[in-house]
Amino acid sequence: MKRHPGADDAHPQSGGAGGDTTDEDDFANTATIRVGTRWWTRIEESILGALLVLILVIASAGVLSRYVLSAPLPWTEPLARYLLIWLTMLGAAVLVKHRAHIQITFVYDMASVRVKPWIDLFVVLVQMAVAVYMIVFGTALALSTPATTAVPFVTLSLVYAIVPVAGLLIAAYTVRDGFDAVRAMKTSKGRAS
């Protein structure tokens, strides 16, 4: 999907300046929705930042304990690895939210204005399929892997629990992208007629 100028920016397809607005567009543009979106974005970014800091602190503690104190802490390396899994999964969801994943736009750039919304819709469908896969199989994996780890009080179920959570977030952001794609399809049909 073509990257838009930001997740919180108004999309041209949503009936912004110069377009006809509907009750749905008015609802989506209310202050409550914007505040809720900003609030959720702050939570996501805070969690990602905290995970990054935790990984740095834990990895540093592992290095210091091993090489300076000559008394290695066995839980630092696996815990840093598990936190990195969480950071990666949540980061992937945030990238979907901001439409910032790497894209190969060769075909998209050559497509006509009428074809681009169909490409966007195809991308949304593939993205939703991946999200559903993450939710279904991530949940099964988290529930079927109760094994303990080298980290006290951390099971593999807890480590794998982030997969369905990230899948749910990706699915939610993909629904938004789907609405944008459908609006763009309606707009391109209107221009063609």
Instruction: Write out pLDDT tens, residues 120-150.
Output: 889 899 999 999 999 999 999 989 887 888 7
Angle 128-120-134 from CA coordinates, rounded to 5°: 15
What's the confidence (pLDDT) of residue 21?
46
What's the confidence (pLDDT) of residue 34?
55
What's the confidence (pLDDT) of residue 30?
52
Mean local confidence (pLDDT), 66-89: 90
The amino acid present at 151, given as its one-letter code, is V
Q: Which of 1-5, 42-46, 71-75, 83-87 has the least mean pLDDT?
A: 1-5
Are the beta carbons of 135 and 168 closer than 8 angstroms? yes
What is the distance, to the nearest Å, from the Cα of residue 178 to the centroid of all Cα atoms in its chain?
15
What's the confidence (pLDDT) of residue 127?
93
SS3 of 21, please? coil
DSSP per position, 76-134: HHHHHHHHHHHHHHHHHHHHHHTT-S----HHHHHS-TTTHHHHHHHHHHHHHHHHHHH
Q: Which of 20-29, 105-114, 147-156 has the least mean pLDDT?
A: 20-29
What's the confidence (pLDDT) of residue 58?
93
User: What residues contact 33, with CB distance under 8 A and at least 6 apart?
Assistant: 27
Residue 11 has pLDDT above 80, yes or no: no
With the CA atoms of 177, 136, 141 and 57 taken in that order, what torsion angle do they form, in degrees rounded to the nearest 10?
A: 20
What are the b/e assignments for 67-96, b being 16+ CB within 10 Å? eeeeeeeebbbbbbebbbebbebbbbbbeb
User: What distance separates the 2 farthest-apart alpha carbons in the chain?
Assistant: 75
Cα 86 to Cα 50, 58, 68, 148, 185: the distances in Å are 11, 15, 29, 17, 36
What's the confidence (pLDDT) of residue 12?
39
Q: Which residue has the higher pLDDT, 151 or 137?
A: 137
Residue 7 has pLDDT above 60, yes or no: no
Mean local confidence (pLDDT), 77-83: 92
Residue 33 has pLDDT above 70, yes or no: no
Mean local confidence (pLDDT), 158-184: 89
Mean local confidence (pLDDT), 13-30: 46
Mean local confidence (pLDDT), 70-94: 91
